[in-house]
């Protein structure tokens, strides 16, 4: 994460010892460790929430695709059923006698 070597850590420890003092240094280290754990926990919580949202988004995309596929299949089935109903109605309806073609009337004036 950070590119801090051993010498840099020793330098930070010496500066902290001089600035804070030997009496308060253990308490400051404990307090720093507590804050560092809290920050780390917060980052992990945020990461988990983002992963959950991405997972939810992926699930929603899959559901949308499935809905579109099902809608397409339903419309195909509806068309097939409509054709079958029309064919059945044509077969079951009584035949209509053919009527002679209608002649247009001419006006007599």
Asked, for residue 93, whether it belongs to a domain, the answer is no
Q: What is the spatial distance between Cα 109 and Cα 100, in angstroms, rounded to a whole number?
A: 26
Asked, for residue 45, whether it belongs to a domain, the answer is yes
Question: What tokens does 82 get?
Answer: 């409509």
- Predicted pLDDT at 107: 60
Asked, for residue 38, whether it belongs to a domain, the answer is yes
Q: Measured between alpha carbons, how far is residue 94 from residues 6, 51, 58 in Å?
A: 99, 66, 56
Question: What tokens does 8 get?
Answer: 């840099």
- Predicted pLDDT at 30: 94
Asked, for residue 26, whether it belongs to a domain, the answer is yes
**Intervals of the chain under pLDDT 50:** none
- Predicted pLDDT at 4: 79
Asked, for residue 92, whether it belongs to a domain, the answer is no
- Predicted pLDDT at 37: 96
SS3 content of the chain, % helix, strand, coil (to 5): 75, 0, 25
- Predicted pLDDT at 40: 95
Asked, for residue 32, whether it belongs to a domain, the answer is yes
- Predicted pLDDT at 97: 63
pLDDT tens for each residue of 13-37 = 888 888 888 899 899 989 999 999 9
Contact 57, 49 (CB under 8 A): no
Count of Cβ atoms closer than 10 Å to residue 75 Cβ: 10
């Amino acid at each position: 994460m950070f590119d801090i070597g051993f010498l840099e850590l020793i330098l930070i420890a010496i500066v902290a010892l001089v600035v804070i003092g030997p009496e308060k240094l253990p308490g400051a280290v404990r307090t720093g460790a507590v804050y560092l754990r809290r920050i780390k926990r917060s980052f992990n919580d945020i990461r988990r929430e983002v992963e959950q949202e991405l997972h939810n988004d992926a699930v929603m995309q899959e559901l949308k695709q499935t809905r579109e596929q099902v809608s397409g299949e339903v419309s195909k089935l509806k068309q097939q059923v409509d054709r079958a109903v029309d064919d059945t109605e044509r077969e079951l309806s009584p035949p209509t006698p053919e009527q002679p073609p209608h002649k247009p009337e001419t006006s007599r004036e």
